Structure 1
Protein backbone atom coordinates (compact mmCIF):
# COMPACT_ATOMS: atom_id res chain seq x y z
CA UNK A 1 0.00 0.00 0.00
CA UNK A 2 1.32 3.43 -0.90
CA UNK A 3 2.19 5.71 1.98
CA UNK A 4 0.00 8.80 2.34
CA UNK A 5 1.49 11.92 0.77
CA UNK A 6 3.12 14.19 3.34
CA UNK A 7 2.10 17.83 3.35
CA UNK A 8 4.56 20.61 2.75
CA UNK A 9 4.95 23.56 5.11
CA UNK A 10 2.58 25.88 3.26
CA UNK A 11 -0.13 23.25 2.86
CA UNK A 12 0.11 22.22 6.52
CA UNK A 13 -0.19 25.82 7.71
CA UNK A 14 -3.27 26.32 5.56
CA UNK A 15 -4.84 23.05 6.74
CA UNK A 16 -4.34 23.99 10.38
CA UNK A 17 -5.68 27.51 9.84
CA UNK A 18 -8.79 26.12 8.15
CA UNK A 19 -9.24 23.45 10.83
CA UNK A 20 -9.07 26.04 13.59
CA UNK A 21 -11.37 28.48 11.83
CA UNK A 22 -13.93 25.78 11.03
CA UNK A 23 -13.98 24.68 14.68
CA UNK A 24 -14.38 28.26 15.83
CA UNK A 25 -17.20 28.95 13.38
CA UNK A 26 -19.04 25.70 14.15
CA UNK A 27 -18.65 25.40 17.91
CA UNK A 28 -17.36 28.69 19.27
CA UNK A 29 -14.15 29.66 21.07
CA UNK A 30 -14.47 26.98 23.76
CA UNK A 31 -13.88 24.32 21.08
CA UNK A 32 -10.69 25.93 19.87
CA UNK A 33 -7.92 23.86 21.45
CA UNK A 34 -4.61 22.84 19.92
CA UNK A 35 -5.55 19.19 20.42
CA UNK A 36 -8.85 19.44 18.54
CA UNK A 37 -7.35 21.54 15.77
CA UNK A 38 -4.56 18.99 15.33
CA UNK A 39 -7.04 16.11 15.31
CA UNK A 40 -9.17 17.85 12.69
CA UNK A 41 -6.13 18.44 10.49
CA UNK A 42 -4.84 14.89 11.02
CA UNK A 43 -1.54 15.86 12.64
CA UNK A 44 0.00 15.90 16.12
CA UNK A 45 -0.35 18.82 18.50
CA UNK A 46 3.40 19.29 18.10
CA UNK A 47 2.75 20.55 14.57
CA UNK A 48 0.55 23.33 15.92
CA UNK A 49 3.16 24.39 18.46
CA UNK A 50 6.03 24.16 15.97
CA UNK A 51 4.24 26.34 13.42
CA UNK A 52 2.40 28.84 15.61
CA UNK A 53 3.96 28.70 19.06
CA UNK A 54 0.67 28.34 20.93
CA UNK A 55 -3.08 28.73 20.51
CA UNK A 56 -2.81 32.51 20.51
CA UNK A 57 -0.34 32.28 17.65
CA UNK A 58 -2.74 30.05 15.74
CA UNK A 59 -5.60 32.53 16.20
CA UNK A 60 -3.35 35.35 15.01
CA UNK A 61 -2.43 33.34 11.92
CA UNK A 62 -6.09 32.56 11.23
CA UNK A 63 -6.85 36.29 11.38
CA UNK A 64 -3.97 37.23 9.09
CA UNK A 65 -4.73 34.39 6.67
CA UNK A 66 -8.26 35.67 6.14
CA UNK A 67 -6.88 39.03 5.02
CA UNK A 68 -4.14 37.38 2.96
CA UNK A 69 -6.80 35.50 1.00
CA UNK A 70 -8.73 38.73 0.54
CA UNK A 71 -5.55 40.42 -0.68
CA UNK A 72 -5.05 37.61 -3.19
CA UNK A 73 -8.63 38.09 -4.41
CA UNK A 74 -8.01 41.82 -4.84
CA UNK A 75 -4.70 41.20 -6.62
CA UNK A 76 -6.47 38.96 -9.14
CA UNK A 77 -8.71 41.84 -10.25
CA UNK A 78 -7.22 43.31 -13.43
CA UNK A 79 -6.69 47.06 -13.64
CA UNK A 80 -8.38 48.50 -16.71
CA UNK A 81 -9.03 51.96 -18.09
CA UNK A 82 -12.42 52.08 -16.37
CA UNK A 83 -11.81 53.09 -12.75
CA UNK A 84 -15.44 52.64 -11.69
CA UNK A 85 -15.67 49.15 -13.20
CA UNK A 86 -12.45 48.24 -11.40
CA UNK A 87 -13.88 49.49 -8.09
CA UNK A 88 -17.02 47.39 -8.55
CA UNK A 89 -14.84 44.40 -9.44
CA UNK A 90 -13.04 44.81 -6.12
CA UNK A 91 -16.41 44.71 -4.40
CA UNK A 92 -17.28 41.46 -6.10
CA UNK A 93 -13.84 40.07 -5.19
CA UNK A 94 -14.54 40.97 -1.55
CA UNK A 95 -17.83 39.09 -1.69
CA UNK A 96 -16.28 36.07 -3.43
CA UNK A 97 -13.52 35.89 -0.83
CA UNK A 98 -16.06 36.02 2.01
CA UNK A 99 -18.14 33.25 0.44
CA UNK A 100 -15.04 31.12 -0.14
CA UNK A 101 -13.79 31.60 3.42
CA UNK A 102 -16.87 31.98 5.63
CA UNK A 103 -15.08 30.29 8.52
CA UNK A 104 -12.49 33.10 8.60
CA UNK A 105 -14.82 36.04 7.98
CA UNK A 106 -16.17 36.46 11.52
CA UNK A 107 -12.67 36.37 13.00
CA UNK A 108 -11.52 39.00 10.51
CA UNK A 109 -14.26 41.49 11.35
CA UNK A 110 -15.75 40.39 14.66
CA UNK A 111 -14.64 39.31 18.13
CA UNK A 112 -15.42 35.59 18.33
CA UNK A 113 -12.26 35.09 20.40
CA UNK A 114 -12.62 37.83 23.04
CA UNK A 115 -9.02 37.66 24.22
CA UNK A 116 -7.62 38.19 20.73
CA UNK A 117 -6.79 41.73 19.72
CA UNK A 118 -4.48 42.37 16.77
CA UNK A 119 -1.30 44.12 17.81
CA UNK A 120 0.39 46.88 15.79
CA UNK A 121 2.46 44.42 13.75
CA UNK A 122 -0.60 42.35 12.86
CA UNK A 123 -2.59 45.47 11.96
CA UNK A 124 0.22 46.55 9.64
CA UNK A 125 0.16 43.16 7.90
CA UNK A 126 -3.54 43.45 7.03
CA UNK A 127 -3.54 47.16 6.10
CA UNK A 128 -2.83 46.62 2.37
CA UNK A 129 -6.32 45.22 1.77
CA UNK A 130 -7.97 48.48 2.84
CA UNK A 131 -5.25 50.48 1.09
CA UNK A 132 -6.19 48.74 -2.17
CA UNK A 133 -9.77 49.94 -1.76
CA UNK A 134 -8.63 53.50 -1.02
CA UNK A 135 -6.47 53.47 -4.15
CA UNK A 136 -9.37 52.25 -6.28
CA UNK A 137 -11.65 54.96 -4.88
CA UNK A 138 -8.97 57.61 -5.46
CA UNK A 139 -8.80 56.61 -9.11
CA UNK A 140 -12.55 57.20 -9.41
CA UNK A 141 -12.26 60.59 -7.70
CA UNK A 142 -9.41 61.55 -10.02
CA UNK A 143 -11.44 60.42 -13.03
CA UNK A 144 -14.40 62.52 -11.91
CA UNK A 145 -16.75 59.56 -11.55
CA UNK A 146 -16.94 60.01 -7.77
CA UNK A 147 -17.37 63.31 -5.95
CA UNK A 148 -14.17 65.15 -4.95
CA UNK A 149 -14.12 63.88 -1.37
CA UNK A 150 -11.39 62.29 0.73
CA UNK A 151 -10.97 58.80 -0.84
CA UNK A 152 -10.39 57.26 2.57
CA UNK A 153 -13.77 58.50 3.81
CA UNK A 154 -15.51 57.09 0.74
CA UNK A 155 -13.61 53.82 1.12
CA UNK A 156 -14.78 53.50 4.74
CA UNK A 157 -18.41 53.87 3.64
CA UNK A 158 -18.08 51.36 0.80
CA UNK A 159 -16.29 48.93 3.09
CA UNK A 160 -19.08 49.23 5.64
CA UNK A 161 -21.68 48.49 2.98
CA UNK A 162 -19.74 45.47 1.69
CA UNK A 163 -19.24 44.14 5.19
CA UNK A 164 -22.91 44.49 6.07
CA UNK A 165 -24.04 42.74 2.91
CA UNK A 166 -21.55 39.89 3.31
CA UNK A 167 -22.42 39.39 6.97
CA UNK A 168 -26.11 39.11 6.10
CA UNK A 169 -25.46 36.81 3.16
CA UNK A 170 -23.28 34.46 5.21
CA UNK A 171 -26.15 34.17 7.68
CA UNK A 172 -28.61 33.35 4.91
CA UNK A 173 -30.50 36.60 5.34
CA UNK A 174 -30.31 37.67 1.68
CA UNK A 175 -31.95 34.61 0.16
CA UNK A 176 -30.34 32.50 -2.53
CA UNK A 177 -26.96 33.28 -4.04
CA UNK A 178 -28.65 34.92 -7.04
CA UNK A 179 -30.96 36.94 -4.80
CA UNK A 180 -28.01 38.06 -2.70
CA UNK A 181 -26.16 39.14 -5.84
CA UNK A 182 -29.19 41.21 -6.87
CA UNK A 183 -29.28 42.90 -3.45
CA UNK A 184 -25.53 43.48 -3.63
CA UNK A 185 -25.67 45.10 -7.08
CA UNK A 186 -28.68 47.27 -6.20
CA UNK A 187 -27.12 48.47 -2.94
CA UNK A 188 -23.82 49.38 -4.56
CA UNK A 189 -25.50 51.06 -7.51
CA UNK A 190 -27.56 53.22 -5.16
CA UNK A 191 -24.62 54.10 -2.94
CA UNK A 192 -22.28 54.94 -5.80
CA UNK A 193 -24.99 56.99 -7.48
CA UNK A 194 -25.16 59.05 -4.31
CA UNK A 195 -21.39 59.54 -4.42
CA UNK A 196 -21.24 60.78 -8.01
CA UNK A 197 -20.73 64.50 -8.67
CA UNK A 198 -24.01 66.43 -8.96
CA UNK A 199 -24.28 69.28 -11.38
CA UNK A 200 -26.88 72.01 -11.23
CA UNK A 201 -28.86 72.80 -14.40
Structure 2
Protein backbone atom coordinates (compact mmCIF):
# COMPACT_ATOMS: atom_id res chain seq x y z
CA UNK A 1 0.00 0.00 0.00
CA UNK A 2 1.58 3.29 -1.13
CA UNK A 3 1.74 6.48 0.88
CA UNK A 4 -1.16 8.89 0.24
CA UNK A 5 -0.35 11.62 -2.22
CA UNK A 6 -0.39 14.97 -0.42
CA UNK A 7 0.53 17.22 -3.34
CA UNK A 8 -2.74 16.68 -5.16
CA UNK A 9 -5.14 18.78 -7.23
CA UNK A 10 -7.06 19.90 -4.15
CA UNK A 11 -3.89 21.37 -2.63
CA UNK A 12 -2.96 22.93 -5.97
CA UNK A 13 -6.36 24.66 -6.16
CA UNK A 14 -6.05 25.87 -2.56
CA UNK A 15 -2.60 27.33 -3.21
CA UNK A 16 -3.79 29.05 -6.39
CA UNK A 17 -6.78 30.57 -4.57
CA UNK A 18 -4.71 31.83 -1.63
CA UNK A 19 -1.95 33.14 -3.89
CA UNK A 20 -4.49 34.97 -6.08
CA UNK A 21 -5.84 36.76 -3.00
CA UNK A 22 -2.36 37.85 -1.91
CA UNK A 23 -1.33 39.04 -5.39
CA UNK A 24 -4.65 40.84 -5.87
CA UNK A 25 -4.37 42.66 -2.55
CA UNK A 26 -0.65 43.35 -2.36
CA UNK A 27 0.98 42.53 -5.67
CA UNK A 28 3.47 39.83 -6.60
CA UNK A 29 6.10 41.19 -4.18
CA UNK A 30 3.73 40.50 -1.26
CA UNK A 31 3.62 36.78 -2.05
CA UNK A 32 5.71 34.77 0.43
CA UNK A 33 5.93 31.04 -0.24
CA UNK A 34 6.57 30.31 3.43
CA UNK A 35 3.50 32.28 4.50
CA UNK A 36 1.41 30.77 1.72
CA UNK A 37 2.43 27.25 2.76
CA UNK A 38 1.51 28.02 6.35
CA UNK A 39 -1.87 29.46 5.35
CA UNK A 40 -2.57 26.35 3.24
CA UNK A 41 -1.48 23.97 5.98
CA UNK A 42 1.33 22.53 3.88
CA UNK A 43 5.05 22.99 3.25
CA UNK A 44 7.08 25.02 0.80
CA UNK A 45 8.23 21.66 -0.58
CA UNK A 46 4.66 21.07 -1.74
CA UNK A 47 4.65 24.44 -3.54
CA UNK A 48 7.94 23.66 -5.28
CA UNK A 49 6.66 20.20 -6.17
CA UNK A 50 3.49 21.57 -7.73
CA UNK A 51 4.75 24.80 -9.34
CA UNK A 52 8.54 24.64 -9.55
CA UNK A 53 9.16 28.03 -7.94
CA UNK A 54 7.48 31.33 -7.07
CA UNK A 55 7.40 32.45 -10.71
CA UNK A 56 5.72 29.17 -11.65
CA UNK A 57 3.12 29.71 -8.95
CA UNK A 58 2.43 33.29 -10.07
CA UNK A 59 2.09 32.21 -13.69
CA UNK A 60 -0.16 29.37 -12.52
CA UNK A 61 -2.41 31.92 -10.82
CA UNK A 62 -2.72 33.93 -14.02
CA UNK A 63 -3.32 30.84 -16.17
CA UNK A 64 -5.96 29.64 -13.73
CA UNK A 65 -7.74 32.99 -13.89
CA UNK A 66 -7.68 33.01 -17.69
CA UNK A 67 -8.87 29.40 -17.95
CA UNK A 68 -11.71 29.91 -15.50
CA UNK A 69 -12.96 32.98 -17.38
CA UNK A 70 -12.63 31.18 -20.72
CA UNK A 71 -14.47 28.13 -19.40
CA UNK A 72 -17.24 30.32 -17.99
CA UNK A 73 -17.72 32.09 -21.32
CA UNK A 74 -17.51 28.80 -23.23
CA UNK A 75 -20.44 27.54 -21.16
CA UNK A 76 -22.68 30.18 -22.79
CA UNK A 77 -24.38 28.07 -25.44
CA UNK A 78 -25.01 29.44 -28.90
CA UNK A 79 -28.61 30.19 -29.81
CA UNK A 80 -30.30 30.94 -33.12
CA UNK A 81 -29.64 34.65 -32.50
CA UNK A 82 -25.91 35.44 -32.40
CA UNK A 83 -26.60 39.10 -31.57
CA UNK A 84 -28.40 37.94 -28.43
CA UNK A 85 -25.45 35.64 -27.73
CA UNK A 86 -23.19 38.70 -27.58
CA UNK A 87 -25.43 40.12 -24.84
CA UNK A 88 -25.43 36.77 -23.04
CA UNK A 89 -21.62 36.67 -23.13
CA UNK A 90 -21.57 40.15 -21.57
CA UNK A 91 -23.88 38.95 -18.81
CA UNK A 92 -21.67 35.91 -18.21
CA UNK A 93 -18.59 38.15 -18.11
CA UNK A 94 -20.12 40.20 -15.29
CA UNK A 95 -21.30 37.08 -13.49
CA UNK A 96 -17.76 35.66 -13.54
CA UNK A 97 -16.17 38.91 -12.37
CA UNK A 98 -18.56 39.33 -9.44
CA UNK A 99 -18.13 35.70 -8.37
CA UNK A 100 -14.31 35.79 -8.76
CA UNK A 101 -13.14 39.35 -8.09
CA UNK A 102 -9.57 38.34 -7.22
CA UNK A 103 -9.15 36.29 -10.39
CA UNK A 104 -10.72 39.05 -12.46
CA UNK A 105 -8.32 41.57 -10.93
CA UNK A 106 -5.34 39.31 -11.64
CA UNK A 107 -6.19 39.46 -15.33
CA UNK A 108 -7.31 43.05 -15.71
CA UNK A 109 -5.77 45.27 -13.06
CA UNK A 110 -2.31 46.71 -12.75
CA UNK A 111 -1.31 43.40 -11.11
CA UNK A 112 -1.20 42.00 -14.65
CA UNK A 113 1.85 44.09 -15.50
CA UNK A 114 3.76 42.70 -12.51
CA UNK A 115 3.49 39.12 -13.71
CA UNK A 116 6.12 39.25 -16.48
CA UNK A 117 4.12 36.90 -18.67
CA UNK A 118 5.46 34.96 -21.62
CA UNK A 119 4.02 35.45 -25.09
CA UNK A 120 2.33 32.06 -24.76
CA UNK A 121 0.62 33.09 -21.52
CA UNK A 122 -0.54 36.37 -23.03
CA UNK A 123 -1.97 34.39 -25.95
CA UNK A 124 -3.84 32.15 -23.51
CA UNK A 125 -5.37 35.23 -21.90
CA UNK A 126 -6.34 36.63 -25.29
CA UNK A 127 -8.24 33.43 -26.01
CA UNK A 128 -10.91 34.57 -23.54
CA UNK A 129 -11.70 37.34 -26.05
CA UNK A 130 -12.26 34.79 -28.83
CA UNK A 131 -15.65 33.75 -27.44
CA UNK A 132 -16.95 37.26 -28.12
CA UNK A 133 -15.21 37.47 -31.50
CA UNK A 134 -16.77 34.16 -32.58
CA UNK A 135 -20.27 35.37 -31.66
CA UNK A 136 -19.72 38.62 -33.57
CA UNK A 137 -18.49 36.74 -36.64
CA UNK A 138 -21.63 34.60 -36.52
CA UNK A 139 -23.79 37.71 -36.19
CA UNK A 140 -22.11 39.25 -39.23
CA UNK A 141 -22.35 36.03 -41.24
CA UNK A 142 -26.08 35.86 -40.44
CA UNK A 143 -26.53 39.47 -41.53
CA UNK A 144 -27.52 40.55 -38.00
CA UNK A 145 -24.51 42.90 -37.57
CA UNK A 146 -23.24 45.55 -39.92
CA UNK A 147 -20.20 44.63 -42.00
CA UNK A 148 -17.47 46.28 -39.95
CA UNK A 149 -14.07 45.10 -38.75
CA UNK A 150 -14.78 42.39 -36.17
CA UNK A 151 -12.20 43.92 -33.82
CA UNK A 152 -14.08 47.23 -33.77
CA UNK A 153 -17.36 45.56 -32.87
CA UNK A 154 -15.68 43.34 -30.27
CA UNK A 155 -13.79 46.14 -28.56
CA UNK A 156 -16.92 48.28 -28.26
CA UNK A 157 -18.92 45.41 -26.73
CA UNK A 158 -16.11 44.26 -24.46
CA UNK A 159 -15.21 47.84 -23.51
CA UNK A 160 -18.76 48.52 -22.32
CA UNK A 161 -18.92 45.28 -20.31
CA UNK A 162 -15.42 45.64 -18.87
CA UNK A 163 -15.84 49.29 -18.00
CA UNK A 164 -19.11 48.81 -16.15
CA UNK A 165 -17.90 45.69 -14.36
CA UNK A 166 -14.69 47.44 -13.29
CA UNK A 167 -16.67 50.39 -11.94
CA UNK A 168 -18.95 48.04 -10.06
CA UNK A 169 -16.09 46.04 -8.52
CA UNK A 170 -14.17 49.14 -7.49
CA UNK A 171 -17.36 50.68 -6.08
CA UNK A 172 -16.62 53.83 -8.07
CA UNK A 173 -20.28 54.55 -8.62
CA UNK A 174 -21.98 57.78 -7.55
CA UNK A 175 -24.48 57.33 -4.69
CA UNK A 176 -27.96 56.41 -5.85
CA UNK A 177 -26.83 55.04 -9.22
CA UNK A 178 -27.81 51.38 -9.63
CA UNK A 179 -25.23 50.13 -12.10
CA UNK A 180 -26.37 46.52 -11.80
CA UNK A 181 -29.90 47.45 -12.91
CA UNK A 182 -28.62 49.26 -16.01
CA UNK A 183 -25.88 46.81 -17.02
CA UNK A 184 -27.94 44.69 -19.40
CA UNK A 185 -29.60 47.77 -20.95
CA UNK A 186 -26.15 49.24 -21.64
CA UNK A 187 -24.99 46.01 -23.31
CA UNK A 188 -28.12 45.87 -25.42
CA UNK A 189 -27.62 49.50 -26.50
CA UNK A 190 -24.11 48.77 -27.76
CA UNK A 191 -25.26 45.63 -29.56
CA UNK A 192 -28.22 47.53 -31.08
CA UNK A 193 -25.77 50.04 -32.52
CA UNK A 194 -24.17 47.26 -34.60
CA UNK A 195 -27.40 45.70 -35.82
CA UNK A 196 -28.08 45.76 -39.55
Query: How would you bin the TM-score normalised by the shorter chain?
Result: 0.7 to 0.9
CA distance in structure 2 between the partners assigned to 1:114 and 1:135 by the alignment: 27
Please name the residue that 2:52 is paired with: 53
1:152 lines up with 2:151 in the alignment: yes
Structural RMSD (CA): 2.4
CA distance in structure 2 between the partners assigned to 1:91 and 1:164 by the alignment: 11
Please name the residue that 1:126 is paired with: 125
Please name the residue that 1:79 is paired with: 78
Asked if 2 retains the 8 angstrom alpha-carbon contact of 1:29 and 1:113, the reply is no
CA distance in structure 2 between the partners assigned to 1:48 and 1:21 by the alignment: 14
Please name the residue that 1:111 is paired with: 110
Q: TM-score, normalised by structure 2?
A: 0.87
Deviation at 1:66, TM superposition (A): 0.8
Structure 1 residues 147-176: Cα deviation after superposition (integer angstroms, max 9, x where no partner): 111212211222222211111111123489
CA distance in structure 1 between the partners assigned to 2:114 and 2:184 by the alignment: 36
Asked if 1 retains the 8 angstrom alpha-carbon contact of 2:51 and 2:57, the reply is yes
CA distance in structure 2 between the partners assigned to 1:8 and 1:77 by the alignment: 33
Q: TM-score, normalised by structure 1?
A: 0.85
Alpha-carbon distance change, 160 to 117 in structure 1, aligned in 2, over 3 angstroms: farther
Asked if 1 retains the 8 angstrom alpha-carbon contact of 2:167 and 2:173, the reply is yes
Asked if 2 retains the 8 angstrom alpha-carbon contact of 1:169 and 1:175, the reply is no
Of structures 1 and 2, the one with the larger relative CO (CA 8 A, separation 6+) is 2
Please name the residue that 2:166 is paired with: 167
Please name the residue that 2:90 is paired with: 91
Deviation at 1:69, TM superposition (A): 0.6
